[in-house]
Amino acid sequence: MRNLNQHTITQAVLDRIHPDTNPRLKVVLTSLVNHLHDFAREVALTEVELMQAIQYLTAVGQKCDDKRQEFILLSDVLGLSMLTVALNNDKPAGCTEATVFGPFYVENEPEIALGGDAANGAPGEPCWVEGQIKGPSGEVIPHAQIEVWQADADGFYDVQKPELQQAQARAKMKADAQGRYYFKTIVAEAYPIPTDGPVGDLLHATGRHPWRPAHLHFMIKAPGYETLITHVFRDGDTYLDSDAVFGVRQSLVAAWVKQEADAKEGGATTHLHFDFVLNPI
């Protein structure tokens, strides 16, 4: 195996994968190597460009820490995250659609009681959120675990504020026996994804804006049902048709309704109602 050229090297690389390799890994790697090599041949990649790509990917990796995930962001802006969501969430009609997970989820967020305050001091207009978790036949799903997270009025998630000592605008709760959930938070606002890293450089170089339409993230888990990872988007937002990460589903767009403050609803002057339909396993 000497003197490989641009035509013979791909098969030589594939031939190195040992027959005992995990079959799925072999399938994925084979396709990856074929496409990676086809890409390089198709554009006649130069050695300078390969080194630029290596330096770029290195910078993406080095931008990551326990609160920042630049590779998720890169996957998001290249449409790979939403493509993967689409490939894996072909749910029956009537089930709530999924969308991108995003880079800002954090495990072990604070647990709140129903009716509790998820904002925990995050700046923003007070908002009451409520709804119900059901199955596709309308059956109540009791006690689902609901995780929510969102940006604040400044356009930042808590993990983007290094001075913050506590979680803000993220919480975990359990729906009640009738599948109902309700909590206080702040109104979701449109915000730019972080542009102070290599992903921002890519957006800038290709003339793309970094904005995401206002949304509230949900992850909902209940025994016997597929975990649902989704957002609720805010109707009327400027960026619903140009989401930087391609995540908008019309079925997930809902109205944040202005209303009279009600003490029972934590004095919130805006109200969001959204019911979720989970897909049985």
Identify residues 127-146 at the interface with a copy of itself (CB under 8 A). Answer: none
If one asks whether residue 32 binds a copy of itself (CB under 8 A), the answer comes out as: yes
Spacing of C-alpha 213 from chain mean position: 13
CB-wise, 46 or 259, nearer to a copy of itself? 46
Out of 44, 177, 263, 281, the residue judged to bind a copy of itself by CB under 8 A? 44
Q: What single DSSP character describes residue 91?
A: P
If one asks whether residue 93 binds a copy of itself (CB under 8 A), the answer comes out as: no
If one asks whether residue 58 binds a copy of itself (CB under 8 A), the answer comes out as: yes
If one asks whether residue 81 binds a copy of itself (CB under 8 A), the answer comes out as: yes
Tokens representing 264 are 């029972």
Q: By CB under 8 A, what part of segment 218-247 binds a copy of itself? A: 240-243, 246
Q: What share of the chain is helix, strand, coil (3-state, %, to 5)?
A: 30, 20, 50
Report the C-alpha dihedral over residues 132, 135, 140, 146, rounded to 10 degrees: -50
If one asks whether residue 17 binds a copy of itself (CB under 8 A), the answer comes out as: yes
If one asks whether residue 2 binds a copy of itself (CB under 8 A), the answer comes out as: yes
Total residue length of the chain:
281
Query: Applying CB under 8 A, which part among 38-46, 106-114, 133-141, 254-262 lies near a copy of itself?
Result: 38-46
- Phi and psi (nearest 5°) for 270? -135, 150
- Phi and psi (nearest 5°) for 59? -65, -35
- Phi and psi (nearest 5°) for 250? -60, -35
If one asks whether residue 92 binds a copy of itself (CB under 8 A), the answer comes out as: no
If one asks whether residue 250 binds a copy of itself (CB under 8 A), the answer comes out as: yes
